[in-house]
């Protein structure tokens, strides 16, 4: 029963579409009709309103931190269920007909909640790739790959399966970006 309750609450927390809500309230626009149509932070930056873009980023990180930290403290054996469900909530939100974001900010919240070192590794990997190439999508894919690679290098094999699954999910959510990168049609991202 605890599995089900933790899963549902984590999913519902993760499914709060902050990018959609903030652009609707403050810009009177539907984020799904702007840029890539994605509800995440990268696309909300495309609205031209940096405050809404960065607010979306912070809130999308926080909506994973809250349930994952709670579960880590009270039901540590269920941390991966809470993490996966929060992530799936963001990617497939019930409120938007299961069409959500790509899950990167939510994944960052999960990483920092589970182990701050993993969060730092992701952010550093993301930042280095972004500084070199200026593609948020490529940075996100490499950043998410860096986690299972780090775990293998440091012999933390028991966690590799979960973070390997998370990498596959992020790879999947970026499938259109990967096609555009391959065809040299991907837009570079301005984050400042």
Burial of 21 (0-12, 13-18, 19+ CB in 10 A): middle
How confident is residue 192, by pLDDT bands cut at 50, 70 and 90? low
Average pLDDT over residues 153-166: 94
Question: Percent of the chain having pLDDT more than 70?
Answer: 99
Q: What is the pLDDT of residue 1?
A: 76
Average pLDDT over residues 95-119: 97
Query: How many beta carbons lie within 10 A of that of residue 42, not counting itself?
Result: 25
- How far is it, in rounded angstroms, from Cα 103 to Cα 166? 10
Q: What is the pLDDT of residue 113?
A: 98
Q: What is the pLDDT of residue 45?
A: 86
Q: Are 166 and 144 in contact (CB under 8 A)?
A: yes
The answer on pLDDT for 168 being more than 70 is yes
Q: What is the DSSP letter of 154?
A: T
Average pLDDT over residues 166-172: 98
Report CA 133 to chain centroid distance, whole Å.
Answer: 20
Residue 123: closest CA among 143, 99, 107, 151:
143
Helix (H) or strand (E) holding 22: helix 18-27
Both tokens assigned to 117:
């070192």
Q: ∠ at Cα 65 (127, 138), nearest 5°?
A: 25
Instruction: List Cβ neighbours of 74 (8 Å cut-off, separation of 6 or more).
Output: none
Q: What is the pLDDT of residue 36?
A: 85
The answer on pLDDT for 114 being more than 70 is yes
Give the residue carrying structure tokens 């999960």: 110
Average pLDDT over residues 14-42: 93
Give the residue carrying structure tokens 């979306």: 56
Helix (H) or strand (E) holding 186: none
Query: How many beta carbons lie within 10 A of that of residue 98, not counting itself?
Result: 11
Region of 97 on the Ramachandran plot (φ > 0 left; ψ -120 to 50 alpha; else beta): left
Q: What is the mean pLDDT of the chain?
A: 95
Instruction: List Cβ neighbours of 119 (8 Å cut-off, separation of 6 or more).
Output: 108, 111, 112
How confident is residue 46, by pLDDT bands cut at 50, 70 and 90? confident
């Amino acid at each position: 029963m605890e599995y089900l309750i933790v899963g549902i609450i984590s999913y519902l927390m993760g499914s709060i579409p902050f990018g959609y809500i903030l652009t609707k309230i403050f810009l009177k626009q539907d984020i799904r009709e702007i840029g890539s149509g994605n509800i995440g932070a990268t696309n909300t930056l495309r609205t031209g309103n940096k405050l809404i873009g960065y607010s979306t980023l912070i809130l999308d990180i926080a909506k994973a931190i809250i349930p994952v930290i709670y579960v880590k403290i009270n039901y540590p054996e269920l941390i991966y269920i809470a993490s996966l469900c929060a992530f799936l909530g963001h990617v497939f939100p019930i409120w938007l007909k299961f069409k959500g974001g790509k899950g990167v900010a939510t994944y960052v919240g999960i990483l920092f909640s589970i182990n701050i070192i993993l969060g730092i590794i992701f952010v550093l990997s993301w930042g280095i790739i972004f500084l070199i190439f200026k593609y948020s999508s490529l940075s996100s894919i490499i950043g998410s790959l860096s986690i299972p690679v780090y775990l293998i290098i440091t012999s933390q094999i028991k966690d590799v399966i979960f973070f390997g699954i998370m990498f596959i999910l992020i790879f999947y959510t970026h499938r259109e970006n990967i096609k555009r990168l391959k065809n040299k049609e991907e837009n570079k991202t301005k984050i400042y």
